[in-house]
Amino acid sequence: MGELEVRAENGQRVIEGWDTVFKALAAEPRRQLIVSLVDAPADQPVPLPESAINPNVPADPERLRQELRHQHLPLLGDQGFINWETDPLIASRGPQFDHVSVVFKALHETSTDIPDSLVIGCQRLERERQENL
């Protein structure tokens, strides 16, 4: 295999990796769950559906529970981003968790550069979270 072929293969792997991460983060319940796991101690599971609900947008817990079990948790689990159990319904960090958590850590570090329309609610949530600690 020539150098160009190796570079193309490596480049394709990187593209597929980022596509997988962004697909995993494309839905709010999955983003909220990852944020909840980032905030929790590394070895501690988080309860569901509570940990997948955006506090600013009330959700029907039973409907979300079904969506989590049949859609969101399998997608995150199949990629190794999380581990999950059904009784009780909980999630914990998976072996590839750092692949998705790094996105939120990078966003947090550069939050002053993000357009206001994308972070106004996040800034308020962060202040509320800090006040409750």
Each residue of 49-96: pLDDT tens digit? 999 998 888 789 999 999 999 999 999 999 999 999 999 999 999 999
Q: For residues 58 and 77, give the distance between their C-alpha atoms in angstroms, rounded to a whole number.
A: 25
Which runs of E-coded beta strand occur in the chain? 46-47, 82-86, 89-93
Q: Provide the domain count of the chain.
A: 1
Mean pLDDT of 88-106: 94
C-alpha dist (Å) from residue 102 to 8, 54, 58, 69, 106: 25, 20, 27, 24, 6
Instruction: Check whether 111 has a pLDDT greater than 70.
Output: no
pLDDT: which is higher, 4 or 13: 13
pLDDT at 95: 97
Domain extent at residue 73:
3-132
Tokens in use for 132? 């409750």
Taking residue 32's Cβ as centre, other Cβ atoms within 10 Å add up to: 20
Per the prediction, the chain carries an average pLDDT of 86
Which of 3-7, 22-26, 28-32, 112-116 shows the lowest mean pLDDT across its residues? Answer: 112-116
Taking residue 51's Cβ as centre, other Cβ atoms within 10 Å add up to: 21
Q: What pTM was computed for the model?
A: 0.78
pLDDT at 123: 47
pLDDT at 68: 97
